[in-house]
Amino acid sequence: MKNFDCVVVGGGMIGAASALALSQLGLTVALIEKSEPKCFDIEQAFDLRVSAISLASEYLLEQLGAWSQIKQWRACPYKRLGVWEHEYAYTEFNAKDIQQDHLGHIVENRLLQLSLWQQIKAQSNIQLFCPEKLVSLTQDNDKATLILTQITLTAKLVIAADGANSQVRQLVNIGTTAWDYQQSAMLINVKTQMSQQDITWQQYLPTGPVAFLPLATSFDSQTAANGYASLVWYHQRDEIKRLSALSNQQLQREVMAMFPQKLGQIEVLAKGAFPLTRRHANTYQNNRVLLLGDSAHTINPMAGQGVNLGFKDVQALQSVIASAIGEGESWHKAHVLGRYEKMRRTDNLLMQSTMDVLYHAFSHPSPIIKVLRSASLLAVNKVPLLNNVVKNKALAYACGI
Ligand SMILES: Cc1cc2nc3c(=O)[nH]c(=O)nc-3n(C[C@H](O)[C@H](O)[C@H](O)COP(=O)(O)OP(=O)(O)OC[C@H]3O[C@@H](n4cnc5c(N)ncnc54)[C@H](O)[C@@H]3O)c2cc1C
């Protein structure tokens, strides 16, 4: 049996960031993960799973020591964000409008995880258990006991960062409020005839949005004139199923027909489909177990906010425990840990609800609603007061600053 201050279950982006954040407070941490991420090699093709990382998340990753490595590997900055339904109501958000150099970066999820793991392996107060799995979890007044396949651990605090279908959440009987969206998302990695771009854009079609996320091209010097991108195609589940069954060449033709012309010529390299579920845990805490990241909440990814909310959870947890330690409180007591949920629940709910409003507003077929949505986008772009206040406030909120 081994004893730790904290055990983190799940070594994805949020679990790895949590382990580092807790270790920075001088706590001993065990990190349990089912499978080790594959090492990075500059020749590797882009992974399908990528995230738009906000400025706030970049600051956290910097503080955890992981950001510079990610940028050295590959990450694509974007400075502009274009949104429209009809061309005449095109709205563009620009980093300059909020006095920033860029709005965020598009990064492969695995590289985020790997860079955090690199830092974890350099910390003497974090022990990594991988590949390992949780078998059971019990709690008493003093500690939590986690039985793994090879070893038993005890902890004062357990972090559930084991994703949307969290086993820990189920083991401690925390229920969720959840529903499936009608749409699924297809992620498509493409090579573009255009060189690397500094814009990410999204067009709302009656069937769901189509989006463009630029990827960094540095790894492929022979074709530096080309760019790479991750396209996201939201559509009814049956249609995404049909598209998934197509060959890359057939899919390429369908993409060229449905995506806006500004995409230019593309070549499909890889594709994958993902169901969309909205889930919110009924509570983030059961005694000394806390839920973070997707184990606590999943949202519609149309504004690329999911993992950014998780990173905000990590920041809140670190600040709650740091304050408790600073005040000489028992940082692991249930009433202290409860402050984490107070800090995060409303913010997560607000972002989830904002995505739901956008999802419903833009999938509504009524012609009146259609006119209203284009008029709102047009007004935000053309009316100076709305442009300066609403648009820039919304942008700063999306960037987490
Ligand atoms: C199509 C799509 C596009 C998205 N795009 C964006 C975007 O642009 N920006 C953004 O911010 N978010 C985006 N998201 C959301 C983002 O991917 C998630 O919010 C993020 O992956 C959550 O990270 P996590 O670490 O909480 O969970 P996960 O990434 O699910 O990691 C959980 C980890 O726990 C491990 N694990 C699970 N069970 C156990 C166990 N019992 N024992 C040990 N280990 C275990 C798993 O192996 C995994 O490594 C998108 C989501 C989707 C579906």
Confidence band of 377 (pLDDT split at 50, 70, 90): low
pLDDT of residue 302: 84
Count the domains in the chain. Answer: 2
Q: For ligand 1, which residues put their CB under 6 angstroms from it?
A: 9-15, 32-35, 51-52, 109, 133-134, 161-163, 167, 185, 187, 274, 293-294, 301, 304-308, 310
Tell me the pLDDT band of 370, cut-offs 50, 70 and 90. low
Most ligand 1 atoms within 8 A of CB, residue of 8, 34, 128, 344 to mutate: 34
Residue 152 binned pLDDT confidence (cut-offs 50, 70, 90): very high
- Per-residue pLDDT of 280-300, as tens digits, reads 999 999 999 999 999 999 998
Domain shared by 254 and 164, yes or no: no
Mean pLDDT of 376-398: 70
Give a yes or no: residue 389 inside a domain.
no
Q: Are 28 and 4 in contact (CB under 8 A)?
A: yes
pLDDT of residue 218: 60
Q: In this structure, are 132 and 214 located in the same domain? A: no
Domain boundary among 229, 245, 276: 276
**Which ligand 1 atom minimizes the distance to the CA of 162?**
34
Average pLDDT of the residues of the chain: 92
Q: Tell me what the mean pLDDT of segment 131-135 comes to.
A: 96
CB neighbour class for 107 (10 Å; exposed up to 12, middle 13-18, buried from 19): buried
Checking if the pLDDT of 392 tops 90, the result is no
Do the domain assignments include residue 258?
yes
Our CA dihedral for 202, 204, 205, 209, rounded to 10 degrees, sits at: 60
Give yes or no for residue 351 having a pLDDT over 60.
yes
Nearest to 78 by CA among 55, 108, 49: 55
Residue 90 lies in a domain: no
- Stretch 196-216: mean pLDDT, rounded? 93
Local confidence band at 235 (pLDDT 50, 70, 90 cut-offs): very high
pLDDT at site 383: 63
Query: Tell me, what's the pLDDT at 381?
Result: 64
Predicted local confidence at residue 315, as pLDDT: 98
Higher pLDDT: 152 or 382? It is 152
Range with the poorest average pLDDT among 12-26, 172-186, 253-267, 328-342: 172-186
Question: For residues 167 and 245, what is the distance between their CA atoms, to the nearest angstrom?
Answer: 31
Confidence grade of residue 388 (pLDDT, cut at 50, 70, 90)? low
Does 301 share its domain with 342?
yes
Indicate the residue among 253, 276, 299 that finishes a domain: 276
Mean pLDDT of 71-79: 95
- Strand order of the sheet with strand 208-215? 91-94, 80-84, 199-205, 208-215, 227-236, 176-192, 266-281, 297-298
Q: How confident is the model at residue 357 (pLDDT cuts 50, 70, 90)?
A: confident
Same domain, 196 and 291: no
If pLDDT is split at 50, 70 and 90, which confidence band does 59 have? Answer: very high
Mutating to test ligand 1, I would choose from 133, 294, 312, 352 the residue with most ligand atoms within 8 A of its C-beta, which is: 294
- The residue nearest atom 40 of ligand 1, judged by CA position, is 133
Between 375 and 269, the more confident residue is 269
Domain of residue 118 covers: 2-77+107-178+278-363
Alpha carbon nearest to ligand 1 atom 9, residue:
304
User: Taking residues 17-46, what's their average pLDDT?
Assistant: 96
- CA of 91 from ligand 1 middle (Å) equals 30
Whole-number pLDDT of residue 385: 63
Using the mean position of ligand 1's atoms as its centre, give its distance from the Cα of residue 293 in Å: 8
Residues 226 and 162 in one domain: no
pLDDT of residue 239 exceeding 90, the answer is: yes
Q: What per-residue confidence (pLDDT) applies to 333?
A: 96
Residues 150 and 296 in one domain: yes
Per-residue pLDDT at 301 = 87
- Measured in angstroms, how far is the CA atom of residue 374 from the centroid of ligand 1? 33
What CATH number does residue 164 fall under? 3.50.50.60
Give the pLDDT mean for 98-109. Answer: 95
pLDDT bucket at 361, cuts 50 / 70 / 90? confident
Q: Which is higher by pLDDT, 390 or 211?
A: 211
List Cβ neighbours of 159 (8 Å cut-off, separation of 6 or more).
6, 7, 8, 9, 15, 18, 19, 22, 289, 290, 292, 317
65 and 115 share a domain?
yes
- 272 and 282 assigned to the same domain: no
Please check whether residue 99 lies inside any domain of the structure.
no
